[in-house]
A and B are shown apart, each in its own frame.
Chain A
Amino acid sequence: MSMFEKNKMKGADFHRREFLKKGAALASVTLASGVTLMALSQGAAASANPNIRWGLLIDANKCPSDCNACISACSNEHGWEDTGLDTDPQWIRKVTLKNKNTGRETSLPLMCQHCEKPPCVDVCPTGASFKRADGIVLVDRHICIGCRYCMMACPFKARSFVHEKIEGQKTSSPRGKGTVEGCNMCVHKLDAGEGTTACTQACETSGNGAMIFGDLNDANSEISLALANYPSVELRDDLRLNLGVRYKNI
C-alpha cells in the first residue's frame, strides 16, 4: 500500500476524532483560560511529572544478607521468575560486597539505578530505551528490537533479555520474548498515585526498613532529608551519571 493510500485509508473519521479531542481541549482553554489551564496542568501531574525525580535510598546496614523480601516482591509484582538458569531475568538482585582487608561483608539489593544520563538510552538504536519526564528509565517494548546494546552499556548489569516465550503476564506489567526489560520503579503504581514501589513496601513489611522511596526534587521528602543529613554514595560515581538510586553504609 502506498503512503498516499495509507493516509487516505485513515480517512476523515480518524481526523475527526483527533479534531474533536483537540477541539475540546482548545475550547476549554479559550472559554475559561485561568481555570482550565490550571486543571490541565493538574491532569499532567497524574502522569509523568517533569517536576518530580523519583529516587531510592538504600541503607546497606539495615539489609540482612538472608533477606530476599524485595526480590520476591518485585518478582510477584511484575511476574518474572529467576529459576537459577543463567538466562533468567533479574530485575533486582542481592549483591554481597566483601572488603578483602577487613573481611566485612555488606549485602545490598541492586537494580536499575535510573541514571540522569543513562548510557542505555545513548546506545539504543531504535529509541526504545528512554527516560521518562519523572526520571524513570524504561524500555518501550513496542519498539525494542532485542539488540541488547543497552545491556552492554549498563554499568550495573541491570537489564535482562527475555529468552523464552512468556505466558500469564501480569496485566500491569506486560513483558515478552525478544525484548529487554529491567526495573521500572513500579511505574504503574506511581501513575496510579500510590507513590511507592513493591520492593520498598516489602522492605517496610519485613521490618528492616532499609529502603526509602520518594521525590529527589522535593526538599522536604523523606528521601531528600535523609540524603541531606547523612552520608550516602552513588555506585560508580566516577561515571558521573547522577543516579536515582543511592546507598548508605557501603
Chain B
Amino acid sequence: MRALFLAFFIIFPLSFIGSLAQENSVNSLFPNVAKAIGNPHPEGSEYWRINHPDLLRHDRDKVVRDGERKIDASIKQCVTCHAVFGDDEKPVKADSEQFFCATCHEFAAVKIDCFSCHTSDPDVNFLEEALAQYNPNSGISDKQIEMMRAYLLKEKK
C-alpha cells in the first residue's frame, strides 16, 4: 500500500517535475528544480531521479572500503554540477530550501543526512571542468554562470 502511495504521489509527480517546472515555473505546484551545469547523465535524468540513493550507496562503499575513488556517482560531483548560487553570490548550503537536493526532498518530506558530514559546497576542480564544458543552451541563467566563475576565481587563490 505504501509503495502504491509512493508511486502515485511522489515518484509519479517527480518524474514530471523536469518538464512541468520548466514550462510553468512560477505557478507550478511542483518544486522548481534548478538546472545543472556539466554533461547530462548518460542514463538520463529520469533514471537518476528514481535510482540515485542506490547509486550513491553502492559507490560510497567502494570509496571508503576499497579506496576506489574513480567512481561514477560521487557526492562531490553531484553538489558541483547541481550547485545553486544564492543572492549573496555564494553557493547555497544544504540547509537552504533552494539547495538542489532540498527542492525535491522538502517536497517529498524525505530527510537526508548526507550533508551533516559532507560539505555541500561545490568542488573547485570539478567546477572548473564543468564550466569549461558548459553548454550555453542548457537553460541555466547567465547570472548563475557568472557567479560560478567569480566563485571559482576566489576559491582558486
Contact = CB atoms under 8 A, between A and B. Distances in A.
A68 interface: no
Contacts of A9: 3, 50
A9 B53 CA distance: 12
A171 B67 contact: no
Nearest to B7: A9
- How many chain A residues sit at the interface, stated as a range, is 35 or more
B132 interface: no
Contact of B51 (A13, A142, A176): A13
Contacts of A104: none
Task: Summarize A's interface: helix, strand, loop or mixed.
Answer: loop
A81 interface: no
B67 A177 contact: no
Given A140-B64, A142-B60, A1 B2 contact: yes
A175 interface: yes
How large, as a class, is the contact surface on chain B? 20 to 34
Given A47-B69, A142-B60, A10 B117 contact: no
Contacts of B3: 1-2, 5, 9
B142 interface: no
Contact of B65 (A5, A46, A140, A175): A140
Contacts of A167: 93
A179 B64 CA distance: 15
Contact of B69 (A5, A17, A141, A192): A192
A170 B6 CA distance: 35
Interface in B105-131: 116-119, 121, 123
A33 interface: no
B117 A48 contact: no
A170 B50 CA distance: 29
A10 B68 contact: no
Given A140-B64, A171-B123, A191-B69, A10 B2 contact: no
Interface of B: 2-3, 6, 43, 47, 50-51, 54-55, 60-61, 64-70, 76, 93, 116-119, 121, 123
